[in-house]
A and B are shown apart, each in its own frame.
Chain A
């Protein structure tokens, strides 16, 4: 029962480099999400996807790119990393995403990204 996994768990990179964070889920959930969590801001939605090949922006999408060619994978790319993108990144999945009372999100363990 792998659930939802993220890789790498820790990443240090330099300003201007491209970085890709991977997210993989084994439940065939329709919805997948990327959040970043920073002190003082809580969890903020970067991008989400309702199904393969369907993605949409969240609250803080600038500087990030996503794709979803397969239901189970939802990679997040920082095209040119900046120091302000130093954060903890969480991927999540949800079976429906429509907001029903039983519609919950399941989170991966997170990726701690440091941009120097």
Chain B
């Protein structure tokens, strides 16, 4: 089993739609969690950290369920500019950041 797994995608959604991505991780000792965004042929950039209590940043909401070892990202009111690949990233103290394979999102006009 891979250490970090994500919905395979791609997700093709119309503008204005709500879309949710899921991510699971295998190491129960993992401590910190992130969502990164990667545009085509560009470097990954931090979208948001994921906190145990859940957190929201504008149209983006991230949730963490430690018991199920599951992370989610919800995007509301999708914009064309949200089209990208979304990477789930997990870090364990004393180890390194592990990246999921990514889920590609295309927001269609």
- Number of A-B contacts defined by CB within 8 Å: 54
Q: A42-B99, A104-B49 are in contact. Are A98 and B34 (CB under 8 A)?
A: no
Tell which of A97, A100, A104 touches B46, judged by Cβ atoms closer than 8 Å. A104
Q: A42-B100, A42-B102, A48-B96 are in contact. Are A103 and B91 (CB under 8 A)?
A: yes
Residue of B nearest to A105 (CB): B97
Q: A98-B93, A101-B49, A101-B51 are in contact. Are A42 and B101 (CB under 8 A)?
A: yes
Residues of A within 8 A of B91 (CB): 99, 103
Select the stretch in B13-21, B37-45, B67-75, B76-84 that faces chain A. Answer: B37-45
Interface check B26, CB cutoff 8 A: no
Nearest CB of chain B from residue A59's CB, rounded to whole Å? 8
Q: Are A107 and B45 in contact (CB under 8 A)?
A: yes
Q: Are A108 and B43 in contact (CB under 8 A)?
A: yes
Residues of A within 8 A of B42 (CB): 109-110
Q: Are B101 and A99 in contact (CB under 8 A)?
A: no
Interface check B61, CB cutoff 8 A: no
**Binding site secondary structure of chain A:** loop
Interface check B12, CB cutoff 8 A: no
Q: Are B32 and A100 in contact (CB under 8 A)?
A: yes
Interface check A75, CB cutoff 8 A: no
Q: Are A104 and B34 in contact (CB under 8 A)?
A: yes
Residue of A nearest to B3 (CB): A59
B residues with a Cβ closer than 8 A to A are: 31-32, 34, 42-46, 49, 51, 87, 91-97, 99-102
- Apart from A41-B101, A42-B87, A42-B99, what 16 extra A-B contacts exist at CB < 8 Å? A42-B102, A44-B99, A45-B96, A99-B31, A99-B32, A99-B94, A101-B49, A101-B51, A102-B49, A104-B34, A105-B44, A105-B97, A107-B43, A107-B44, A108-B43, A109-B43
